[in-house]
Amino acid sequence: MGAGQVKEELGRGGNGVVYRIASPNPTWGDFVALKEVMTRGMKPKHFEQVAKECDILSNVSHPNVVRNFYNYLKKDKLCILMELCDGDLAKELKFLQTRPDLIFSEKFLWKALAQIADAIAYLHSNALIHRDMKPGNILIGQDGLLKVSDFGWSRFIDEDSFAVTLGGTPLYNSPEILSNRPYTQKADVWGLGCIMYEMASGGTRPFTDPVSICKKAPQSLPSHYSKALRDIIFKMLAKSEATRPDIFQIVEMVEKHMAEKGINRVDESDEDPFDFYVKNPSWKSPAPKRINQILQNKFAGKGSFSHHEDDEEEEEEEYDDEYEEEEVPEDHEDFPEEEEEALYEDEDSCYVHSHSCPSKSAEQLPHAYTY
């Protein structure tokens, strides 16, 4: 890195900062991400995780795995030059929760499933287990492709071996991990199932606490998605490792369906690769209902046409220690559907006139690098 290199801060965490800088190597593109991790005072275990992530990323090469170009030490900082990405799935899901009139298109969900599954299959074929599959660790590349990132919890393990260390993010951990049982690479398949469920549900996680992961069945997914998509998601969320498919079986199922439906993993047309969304067929504007209520109140003498009417706000369910006891069927078949009414808010939104990726629409780019 030359002296005076211009850096634009993109994000910061507890132990480091991510910058966008001009690429020092033209083969890496015009810009790259510089991740600076403070090593002074860092616990040995944390430093080991960061060093392991650098080592793993330096030795993998796949279009759906974030690229690590170069690592170096500079005083008390570990500097990592990485592929520059424009956001992550976690931010897309947060955006989707503010827009109940939109959903991910089925085509995009199949493409996302194919790309992430390919990346996991590549890792598993190289004796790696990721162990922290979640939306925040799926970056969106500048080419529109999804990229698996954050290998701090990864370790080498072949398909016939077991791991025993508890790690990753609890709400995306598989039942065998949370139950302190030895587990295999199929734990990554569970994580992928959680990601796909959250995307198909519009931002609702399949489970809200560790107890439900082990003992409860997730709610059914919206029927506007195909049975084939819903079935493969629930197969990945099989609580028993014995009945859960491995990633290579998932790849085979996905490729078969996409071939039958003529869905390409990567579009070679002029379509916007960041156009993820379509209109939600189940969404109805609450405006007419609201207007009718105001009219009824007006003519009943209960109120006036005021912008200060009291509205009931839907409270977000928080994770607490009170769990419902519920029997879980061994295999998922049909679970009762629950419809949740959500208020449509597009006031002062920068996405009102666009259904494309918010990371391309917003003035300030969201970023998803972990620290």
Element at 252 (helix H, strand E): helix 247-261
* C-alpha distances out from residue 41 to 37, 77, 80, Å: 11, 11, 19
Mark whether 132 is an active-site residue: yes
Angle at 206 between CA 92 and CA 351, to 5 degrees: 20
Q: Both 96 and 208 in a single domain?
A: yes
Q: Both 228 and 340 in a single domain?
A: yes
Q: Both 50 and 149 in a single domain?
A: no
Residue 305 domain-assigned (yes or no): no
Q: What is the pLDDT of residues 181-234, one digit of tens each?
A: 999 999 999 999 999 999 999 999 999 999 999 999 999 999 999 999 999 999
With a cut of 60, say whether residue 312 has pLDDT above it: no
Catalytic residue of the set 86, 88, 132, 246: 132
With a cut of 80, say whether residue 317 has pLDDT above it: no
With a cut of 60, say whether residue 311 has pLDDT above it: no
Q: Both 123 and 246 in a single domain?
A: yes
Domain end among 83, 111, 144: 83
Q: Both 70 and 197 in a single domain?
A: no
Residue 37 domain-assigned (yes or no): yes
CA distance 175 to 215: 9
So what's the pLDDT on residue 367? 34
Residue 312 domain-assigned (yes or no): no
Report residue 358's pLDDT band, with 50, 70 and 90 as the boundaries. Answer: very low
Residues of the domain holding 13: 7-83
> Which two three-digit tokens encode residue 179?
């139950």
Maximum average pLDDT range among 19-23, 74-78, 246-250: 246-250
Q: Both 177 and 208 in a single domain?
A: yes
Q: Both 292 and 194 in a single domain?
A: yes
CA distance 9 to 181: 42
Q: Both 209 and 66 in a single domain?
A: no
Residue 2 domain-assigned (yes or no): no
Question: How many other β-carbons are positioned within 10 Å of the β-carbon of residue 303?
Answer: 15
With a cut of 80, say whether residue 326 has pLDDT above it: no
CA distance 31 to 369: 15
**CATH code at 114?**
1.10.510.10
Cross-strand bridge partners of residue 71 = 80
Angle at 180 between CA 44 and CA 203, to 5 degrees: 85
Query: Strand 102-104 relative to strand 7-12: parallel, antiparallel, unpaired?
Result: unpaired
Report residue 39's pLDDT band, with 50, 70 and 90 as the boundaries. Answer: confident
Domain end among 83, 105, 140: 83
Q: Which residue has the higher pLDDT, 2 or 98?
A: 98
Q: Both 267 and 329 in a single domain?
A: yes
Domain end among 64, 83, 102: 83
Domain count, the chain: 2
Q: Both 152 and 296 in a single domain?
A: yes
Q: Which residue has the higher pLDDT, 318 or 126?
A: 126
Residues 6+ apart with CB under 8 A from 26: none
